Structure 1
């Protein structure tokens, strides 16, 4: 209650007041009020007693306008943000939170660190970031620059044969299917076999374009011929005229 005698209540407190008033007036059973407010009948009796003794102000939270018991003290907050600014300015809140605890003994919640970094301008929440603009890639002008290659695992022959992989060669300029090759698995050697057939039929393209599948690049230490085989598929051939 303020100096003018006005009581300020939240919508939740107002709903509680109406229910407790109905109980005090004998219009609502204790168990029904407890069910409606998610409380026990003992708590309802206590609230009814506070209403009768103190009136409506007795149902207003006594913690209003008081600092939270879990509020972060200014000294810890300043120390944490100083360390982050000095050493972890390019870290995200989760990793910065882990480093504060592991290296500096400062244990804070991840959301607390996120709030500190946001207030200090070291982190921009995702919802506040400007949308990323992805420049559309225009199709190439001529046949063969480049040819997109990819593999698709599927039961292409239903139950008539085991599942297999279809290697597809698609021209970027025209979306024309240049070659289709069925193979047991998507591997470097199966691409070599399909590429040989493509070159014999259409000639050498300006470039092959693939995803980052492991068959096109080494994923662990390799030696000798295995390294040569794995890296060869990522090498763009010298531009040349494509035969009809």
Structure 2
């Protein structure tokens, strides 16, 4: 969008199907659930909740694998729209989403030229310019709808509640030490009256766009600590945190153990080594059966004399 003047980025586009009006534009680094959450929040604050969104089959909107397990068959974005009582319809052909495709071609021409004339070369300045561009574009090109009624609904949601909806939510299994894995990290719940009963159960994680992570059980926020999976646990850490001493001591003991023995191909296939078979002189010299036979032979020789 900024040609050679700035870093590459993507433009998220929301348009009204009835009028061709630009409803929301947003420059983002890449298309992801978090960037669509950001653009959707701005849309909802400006216009309210629509009856439905019509989208392409990007993985943000649609689970590609029919046999995918978990997630109740919907993406994070789809789950958020469901909680907001907004339908999402995925286009089955390029013709079905022709209005958006035509708009994208228009923006690739008109918007790029305007950005060049304004000397804009970054996402922040670009996003600050977009409201002016949308107003000018809509005034010139938007058409009158066949029906004048607006189907957008007011949200009537507190800002904190909207943030809870527009986030990534997943379930995690709590192990015996009140720990679970999340994004290559080990999360350890702090022990209290609630967490003691969560071993063997699932908690829900709330990941926000600003990097915050909330862990909850039936709506109750749980205190926790984060450890990197590859982090080495030192004796100093055990001394400074007595409450975790037992758990950290076990981790430290496991880390200090020697590297596991690398199995041979035969052992991987189930072969168990049984030691050397007697036969070579170094083995047979100390074999009890060989010693007994040797003694018997010597005694027989003495008797013959």
Shared fold, TM over 0.5: no
TM-score normalised to the size of structure 2?
A: 0.25
More helix as a share of residues: 1
More strand as a share of residues: 2
- Pick 1 or 2: higher relative contact order, CA cutoff 8 A, min separation 6: 2
TM-score normalised to the size of structure 1?
A: 0.31
